[in-house]
Structure 1
Amino acid sequence: MDKLFLFTDGSVHVQSKIGYGAFLFLSEKELEAETLKQRVQVKRFENTSSTRLELQTLLWALSALETNNIKVVVFTDSQNITQLVERRNRLEETNFCSKSGKPLKNADLYKQFYQMLDALHCEIIKVKGHQPTRLKNEIEGVFGLVDKASRKALRAGM
């Protein structure tokens, strides 16, 4: 089975609820390629939050895949996304509702996330975002390209 690396990040303007998500798919051979910056995909999302934007961006990226017969290693700095795998049983048992019985804010995206996880072979890896270049490893360096693309798009779009 082939393996793809997926890097996702988002940047949101809290007051306007506008955010930009960015993603980049790479094969193992492409990690050191010089032209990665030009391949980052960016999309504007409205009426969003930082938590929602991270999920929207990941779902957008995964929906761009043309096959399910591939392993996808997802690199994200989103604590919410990395914890969703661990929270799945509890969320499904409560039907994506809070203790008071109200539906969770992002229940729609959580459900889509779990459907995608079931359909694809995904591994989610948390990376440290916003580190100085001298402290970044190869993976964090590539992630930095996606991070910069989303922040640049947000500044340009505001």
Structure 2
Amino acid sequence: MDAVALFTDGSVNTQVKFGYGAYLAVSDPGLSVEELSKQVKVKRFAPTSSTKLELQTLLWALDDLQVLGRPLIVYTDSQNIIGLPARRDRLERNDYCSKKNTRLNNYELYQEFFRQIDQLDCELIKVQGHQASKHKNDIDRLFTLVDRASRNALREDARRSAL
């Protein structure tokens, strides 16, 4: 069974603590970038932060997609998401608390992330965000679709708010 490629990204306005997450699920690699750009989903999240938004977007996409039984490759520029599997043992051992014994921000999202990932045949791949077009490969070009969609949604929201 062919893998589903999932691209996720988010853009946040840190001053007012809201942002937009975007995802694109690709199960047919034969579609053109133009066709795929029409399949990008965008959602507003508030209150949020950049770290929280990346997790919220991935979890929303996983809930939306229902990809159980199919291999999944997640492409993200979020170092936090990429690093979570390596941090899992320590997070669970410390009951999602810091060295000062206070609950970590976003601990509930971390728990949900692990719950979801445990049910999936999932691989996480780090992509470089915001690079020059001449350095982009096909994966980077697809990632640009979600990067651009989330940034454009945030800009459009700011423009509407200014009216």
Q: Please state which band the TM-score falls in when normalised by the shorter chain.
A: over 0.9
Instruction: Map 1:112-131; keep pairs closer than 5 Å.
Output: 112-131=112-131
| SS of the residue 1:35 aligns to | helix
| Residue 27 of structure 1 pairs with residue 37 of structure 2 | no
TM-score (normalised: structure 1): 0.96
Aligned length: 158
Aligned to 1:12: 12
Instruction: Map 1:123-142; keep pairs closer than 5 Å.
Output: 123-142=123-142
User: Which structure has greater strand proportion?
Assistant: 1
CA shift in 2, pair 1:128/1:31, >3 Å: farther
Aligned to 1:76: 76
Aligned to 1:38: 38
| SS of the residue 2:65 aligns to | coil
Aligned to 2:90: 90
| Cα distance in 2 between the residues matched to 1:141 and 1:67 | 23
TM-score (normalised: structure 2): 0.93
| Cα distance in 2 between the residues matched to 1:85 and 1:79 | 11
2:62 partner letter = L
| Cα distance in 2 between the residues matched to 1:39 and 1:15 | 30
Structure 1, unpaired ranges of 5+: none
How far has the Cα of 1:121 moved from its partner? 1.2
How far has the Cα of 1:66 moved from its partner? 2.8
| SS of the residue 2:3 aligns to | strand
Structure 2, unpaired ranges of 5+: 159-163
Superposed CA RMSD in Å reads 1.1
1:156 partner letter = E
CA shift in 2, pair 1:31/1:127, >3 Å: farther
| SS of the residue 1:22 aligns to | strand
| SS of the residue 2:143 aligns to | helix
Is the contact between residue 33 and residue 142 of structure 2 (CA under 8 Å) also seen in structure 1?
Answer: no
Is the contact between residue 5 and residue 28 of structure 1 (CA under 8 Å) also seen in structure 2?
Answer: no
CA shift in 2, pair 1:145/1:67, >3 Å: closer
How far has the Cα of 1:31 moved from its partner? 5.8
Please list the CA deviations of residues 83-103 of structure 1 after superposition, one character each: whole Å capped at 9, or x if unmatched: 001100000000000011100
| Aligned structure 1 segments of 4 or more residues deviating by more than 4 angstroms | none
